[in-house]
Structure 1
Amino acid sequence: MDPELRHFFPLLFFGNIENLILAAQGVDAHVDPLGLAILSLIAVLCWLLIGTFGTKFAMKYARAINFIGGFAIFVLGVQAILASIPGMLAFFH
């Protein structure tokens, strides 16, 4: 892996976890799987284009990007956990 890109590895790793969380939320909300898959692929393509063409510009902001991305992933994870609590409590009744 390119040493300059190593700074973005945690964001890539936790971004994949975020995708799993969002997919689980889509399943829980009974979203059309095909529509969700198409929107997910569009989002991935957009991020690929942004990453490909914006990497050189973003290098000087790598620390801020990692923090903001990590914070967003954390907030989405907490949101997913809080949304699932009522269903978990109903399971035990």
Structure 2
Amino acid sequence: MIDELKPFLILLVFGNIENLILAAQGVAASVNPLGLAILSLTAASCWILIGTFGTRFAIKYARFINFIGGLAIFILGIQAMIESIPGMLAFFH
């Protein structure tokens, strides 16, 4: 099973970093922490189920999945930085 997951290891690591960024955005936007936690756990559970049962099918497309996942993480990271600029500028004034 571990050998089957190796092609997705980088995506798993950066996906977890992205989850931390999204959680920080939720806190900065004053989102209800309990609601955010419930939604995060629900999403993580869905991804575990998809990953567990979909790995055999998806292994043929590991390169494409890594690219698309990495691109999504990159875009969300850029979005997070752009949205934080007004708050950073307000801090310096």
The number of residue pairs the alignment matches comes to 93
Q: Deviations over 1:18-77 (max 9, x none)?
A: 100100110011000000000000000000000011000000000000000000000000
What residue in structure 2 maps to residue 62 of structure 1?
62
> What code does the residue aligned with 2:18 have?
E
Within a 5 Å distance, the mapping from 1:1-93 to structure 2 comes to: 2-93=2-93
User: 1:30 is paired with a residue of what secondary structure?
Assistant: coil
The share of aligned pairs that are identical, in percent, is 75
Write 1 or 2 for the structure with the bigger share of helix: 2
> How big is the shift at 1:6?
1.0
Structure 2: segments with no counterpart, 5+ residues? none
The whole-number CA distance in structure 1 between the counterparts of 2:80 and 2:68 is 18
Please tell me whether the aligned partners of residues 8 and 66 of structure 2 are also in contact (alpha carbons under 8 angstroms).
yes
The whole-number CA distance in structure 2 between the counterparts of 1:67 and 1:83 is 24
Coordinate RMSD, CA, aligned:
1.0
Structure 1: segments with no counterpart, 5+ residues? none
